[in-house]
Structure 1
């Protein structure tokens, strides 16, 4: 296991043994970025807080499944993202377009150069505001890609979509984002 903090391995071992102080230390290290991750998806501070708390509980109960193939933070973040998306979809069944309804079964025909956006002249706040104003399926996929740092394969797993659907949605979301930024 490769972690940025040298004592993380020991801390995780103590957590697996049920040590409450170690769990509290892990919580203190990760609660802020996990809260921010949930907040970017669900867009409500109270809801994000609840989701983060539930994700930590789930992580601590499933800690034996953590094999150390990725950092603990990355493993926990995936739990938070999945839990956020699940809860968001449950609460907003009618408000959110179904990803299946939005996605089209087409092959990716664009070149990588066409997909690139030139954000050098745009402020970060403008990009974030533009992403937040996109329709839900586009906002979620760009948040996972650009803000949370998941690659397309991970996004396919998280959203349970095919690689073709993922590429198409990302392409259309980027196009929509670019239109909003140029407007």
Structure 2
């Protein structure tokens, strides 16, 4: 087998039991995957636990990755699925709606609110699990509302509504902090 890229070589070495390759794989992807876990779960302890579980699955199934698959994408999918499983265990509630007409943007003067990255992160962390999950999957993981709905077992309309409500709640939390 001829390997051309670092990731191809890494996968090849892992498939053949190279312990150092497992460490390199973990070191290469764990920080980004931890950030996904932390954003989705909102707890450092939960994020660490789920990250470890996800990487165990990655290591146990490294032989199953398809040659043409993106290693990072494959690992990310495993991590997100573990996060979603954890949220299901916590019985995260997603509010079902038939059809809610909400304007895409609320009249907000962006200049009026000096939203620092820290304030927004803190606001997102304060969101209920359902809102935070949808917001993270849409904004940071780049899933469509339809894909989010399929992943969470909710309608596309509900995913959109959860996202818009999450966005509004973040805006309100940040506004409260800037006026306090």
TM-score, normalised on structure 1? 0.77
Superposition map of 1:22-171 within 5 A: 22-67=21-66, 70-90=69-89, 92-93=90-91, 96=92, 98-99=93-94, 102-106=95-99, 109-110=101-102, 112=104, 114=105, 121-171=114-164
When Rg is computed on C-alpha atoms for both structures, the one with the higher figure is 2
Matched-pair contact (CA < 8 Å) for 2:87–2:129: no
Matched-pair contact (CA < 8 Å) for 1:38–1:80: yes
| Mapped partners of 2:108, 2:14: distance in 1 | 43
| Mapped partners of 2:14, 2:109: distance in 1 | 44
User: Counterpart of 2:175?
Assistant: 182
Aligned alpha-carbon RMSD (Å): 2.7
Unaligned runs of 5+ in 2: none
| Mapped partners of 1:73, 1:118: distance in 2 | 38
Mark the CA change 1:137 to 1:119 in structure 2 (over 3 Å): closer, same or farther: farther
Q: Using the TM superposition, name which of 165-174 and 69-78 deviates more.
A: 69-78
TM-score, normalised on structure 2? 0.78
| Mapped partners of 2:137, 2:146: distance in 1 | 11
| Mapped partners of 1:153, 1:110: distance in 2 | 18
TM superposition shift of 1:8? 0.8
TM superposition shift of 1:135? 2.0
Mark the CA change 1:146 to 1:26 in structure 2 (over 3 Å): closer, same or farther: same
Unaligned runs of 5+ in 1: none
Question: How many residue pairs are counted as aligned between the two chains?
Answer: 171
